[in-house]
């Protein structure tokens, strides 16, 4: 026993993979690998789960254990390692093997690890089977296992099953609430998550179910997805009432949520209020400034405040700075920051940001050269970035080259076809546009419909392009016609060069006139008091004509209009946009 205690002490001090292998060799040569299950299991767990371990070696060690010596905990260690690894679905296969070779019999921990693997694999059928097995094994009262099942149902896009299981639980704790709340918020069912949060704070819950810091973080994440600053205010107020906002993780989450809801001033105010800022705090503030187009401020915050604070930047920090430079057109600053990445190895995302930076500025040859010179093969996102740059600057040859690379990689994304079609349409090459359209039909590729939504009176109103489903659609279109007349008087000429069909100019104007973000803005004019702000969320990149219209509507109606598209925020006021027409 003393010898095993000493070996446990040594194992806890292993800090490299070489240490693990030496320890493994010692267990093999002394026979302890077979005789001492606790040491063997601890070795496999460390090798499988530690950052300096090796999952393949851990599994090899597990498989080398004679079946007669394996325990439930041996299987648990191996299944847990695979479930946390790059291919969690493999844990399901190993568990099936365990059942086939039984004994040993799985326990609640075994099922918890397999359920996590199912959740990470978005495997709803497996989750249902595991739930049934848990009940059959008499484990339905295990709170931790059922909490893991809740999380899996939410992550497998089965919120109704998650909520039903939650309501059927005879005993819950705060971890149960938080698992369901976070799972719904992230997967993405933010409306349901916020409904659950309101139910939680309005109920008289026992102490074991009282909201904590993790609750606030999950609720703030749901608000961020909905782009609802009003809901963030409610979450923030509750956190302050309970004293939960003193936690730096909560404040970091609120910084992120306010920024993603368009309330940059509030996000920065909370950031400034954090007494001991962590790396996550700085990254949240830098990304907030970047997504709102304040690249110069982000760069100043990074160089003048973060670096002197002796907090070392990480990959996220540099990505935030580079994104800020991209949105603000700070090409030389962005290149300087990229070249300064000595302690952080650039990833494909960093290279992609620099390619985007150069591409937006029209420096296409440099962008292409950077892609060719990367130390690893370009991924789809990089080629799509280059394709987007080629579309923006009308470079047909580069667009075709990028599209060929994407096709060779097996990409069949709608956006690839649309970008290339836009390049051809801008050059009036309608035969090529038709060819791309035929290819989309032949490959069963359907264009992602543009939609936008806006919140009025706590209710979200969603619009599609050309939408007439809203109960006030007639009033919306009348208001849009009135707005069009006003902005034409201010000199607006519709931008129709990227409409994909060879049709009459009047029809092209009608096509862009009915874009979803215009309908959402018109509804905002109808449904909110004069002078109040309008906020719109768009699932795609805002088009040039909608951008120009939003500027002029903000001027004609004296409104502040905020549009969050898939990449950033645009704040329109007095006929100007915060992006400076660079996006």
pLDDT, greater one: 495 or 262: 262
In this prediction, residues 374-388 reach a mean pLDDT of 93
How many beta carbons lie within 10 A of that of residue 13, not counting itself?
8
Q: Is the pLDDT of residue 87 over 80?
A: yes
Res. 9: pLDDT tops 80: yes
Which residue is listed with tokens 């767990």?
Answer: 45
Quick: pLDDT tens for 485-507: 999 999 988 876 555 454 444 44
Rounded to whole angstroms, how far apart are CA atoms 145 and 166? 12
The count of other CB atoms within 10 Å of the CB of residue 485 is 10
What residues pair up with 160 in beta bridges, in sequence order? none
β-bridge partners, 258: none
Tokens representing 254 are 């609120």
pLDDT in tens, 423-448: 998 888 989 999 998 988 888 888 78
Arithmetic mean of pLDDT, 541-548: 91
The C-alpha atoms of residue 542 and residue 517 are separated, in whole angstroms, by 8
| 362, pLDDT greater than 70 | yes
What pLDDT score was predicted for residue 426? 84
Q: Report the half-sphere exposure of 200 (CA within 13 A, side-chain side).
A: 28
What is the layout of strands, in order, in the sheet containing 534-538?
A: 459-464, 451-456, 534-538, 561-564, 569-573, 576-577
Q: With bands split at pLDDT 50, 70 and 90, how would you rate the model's confidence at 418? A: confident
The predicted-structure confidence for 142-152, as pLDDT tens digits, reads as follows 989 999 999 99
User: How does pLDDT run across 318-359, given as a tens digit for each residue?
Assistant: 999 999 999 999 999 999 999 999 899 999 999 999 999 999
- pLDDT for the residue 287: 97
- Output the six-digit token pair for 25: 């060799």
Helices 2-11 + 37-49 axis angle, to 10: 0
d(CA 63, CA 73): 14
The backbone torsions φ and ψ at residue 52, rounded to the nearest 5 degrees and listed phi first, read -100, 5
Average pLDDT, the chain: 92
Query: How many other C-beta atoms can be found within 10 angstroms of the C-beta atom of residue 113?
Result: 25
> So what's the pLDDT on residue 504?
47
Of 33-42, 200-209, 338-347, 565-574, the poorest mean pLDDT is in 200-209
Question: Which pLDDT score is estimated for 503?
Answer: 43
* Statement: residue 508 has pLDDT above 60: no
Q: Does residue 422 carry a pLDDT above 90?
A: no
- Count CA atoms closer than 13 A to 315's CA, side-chain side: 7
Average pLDDT over residues 298-325: 96
Rg (CA), the chain: 28
Please give the pLDDT value at position 279. Answer: 98
Residue 378 has pLDDT above 50, yes or no: yes
What lies within 8 Å, CB to CB, of 155 at 6+ separation is 119, 120, 122, 183, 186, 187
Instruction: Report, as an integer, the average pLDDT of 112-127.
Output: 95
**Confidence grade of residue 187 (pLDDT, cut at 50, 70, 90):** confident
DSSP of 45-100, one letter per residue? HHHHHSTT--HHHHHHHHHTS-GGG--HHHHHHHHHHHHTSS-THHHHHHHHHHHH
CA distance 374 to 359: 16
Residue 531 pLDDT exceeds 90: yes
Whether the pLDDT of residue 549 is over 90: the answer is yes
Quote the CA–CA distance of 26 and 319 in Å, as a whole number.
44
Q: Which two tokens stand for residue 331?
A: 């090409």
């Amino acid at each position: 026993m003393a010898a095993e205690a000493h070996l446990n002490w040594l194992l806890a001090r292993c800090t490299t993979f070489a240490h693990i292998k030496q320890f493994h060799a010692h267990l093999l040569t002394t026979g302890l690998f077979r005789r001492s299950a606790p040491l063997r299991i601890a070795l496999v767990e460390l090798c499988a789960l530690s950052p300096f371990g090796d999952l393949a070696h851990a599994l090899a060690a597990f498989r080398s254990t004679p079946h007669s010596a394996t325990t439930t905990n041996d299987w648990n260690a191996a299944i847990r390692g695979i479930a946390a690894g790059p291919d969690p679905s493999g844990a399901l296969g190993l568990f099936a093997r365990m059942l086939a070779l039984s004994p040993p019999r799985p326990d609640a921990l075994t099922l918890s690890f397999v359920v996590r693997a199912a959740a990470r694999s978005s495997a709803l059928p497996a989750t249902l089977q595991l739930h049934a097995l848990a009940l059959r094994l008499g484990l339905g009262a295990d709170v931790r296992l059922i909490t893991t099942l809740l999380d899996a149902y939410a992550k497998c896009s089965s919120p109704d099953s998650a909520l039903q299981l939650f309501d059927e639980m005879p005993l819950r704790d705060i971890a149960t609430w938080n698992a369901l709340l976070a799972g719904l918020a992230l997967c993405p069912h933010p409306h349901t998550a916020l409904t659950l949060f309101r139910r939680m704070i309005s109920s008289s819950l026992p102490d074991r179910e009282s909201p904590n810091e993790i609750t606030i973080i999950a609720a703030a994440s749901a608000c961020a997805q909905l782009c609802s600053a009003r809901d963030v205010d409610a979450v923030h107020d509750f956190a302050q009432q309970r004293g939960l906002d003193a936690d730096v993780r909560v404040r970091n989450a609120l910084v992120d949520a306010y920024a993603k809801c368009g309330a940059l001033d509030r996000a920065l105010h909370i950031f400034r209020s954090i007494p001991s800022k962590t790396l996550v705090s700085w990254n949240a503030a830098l990304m907030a400034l970047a997504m709102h187009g304040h690249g110069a401020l982000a760069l100043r915050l990074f160089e003048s405040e973060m670096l002197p604070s002796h907090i070392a930047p990480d990959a996220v920090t540099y990505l935030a700075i580079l994104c800020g430079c991209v949105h603000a057109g700070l090409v030389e600053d962005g290149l300087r920051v990229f070249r300064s990445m000595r302690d952080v190895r650039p990833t494909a995302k960093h290279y992609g940001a620099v390619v985007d930076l150069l591409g937006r500025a029209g420096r296409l040859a440099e962008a292409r050269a950077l892609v060719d010179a990367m130390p690893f093969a370009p991924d789809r996102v990089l080629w799509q970035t280059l394709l987007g740059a080629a579309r923006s600057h009308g470079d047909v040859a580069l667009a075709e080259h990028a599209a060929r690379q994407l096709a060779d990689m097996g990409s069949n994304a709608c956006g690839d076809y649309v970008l290339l079609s836009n390049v051809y349409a801008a050059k009036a090459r309608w035969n090529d546009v038709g060819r791309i359209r035929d290819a989309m039909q032949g490959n069963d590729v359907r264009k992602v419909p543009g939609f936008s939504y806006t919140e009025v009176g706590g209710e979200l109103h969603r619009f599609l392009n050309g939408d007439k489903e809203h109960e006030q659609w007639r009033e919306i279109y009348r208001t849009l016609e009135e707005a069009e007349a006003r902005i034409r008087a201010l000199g607006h000429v519709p931008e129709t060069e990227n409409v994909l069909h060879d049709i009459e100019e009047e029809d092209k104007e009608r096509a862009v006139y009915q874009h979803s973000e215009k309908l959402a803005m018109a509804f905002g004019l109808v449904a909110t008091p004069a002078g109040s702000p309008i906020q719109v969320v768009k699932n795609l990149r805002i088009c040039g004509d909608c951008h120009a219209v939003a500027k002029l509507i903000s001027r004609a109606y004296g409104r502040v209009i905020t549009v969050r598209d898939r990449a950033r925020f645009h704040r329109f006021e007095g006929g100007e946009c915060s992006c400076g027409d660079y996006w």
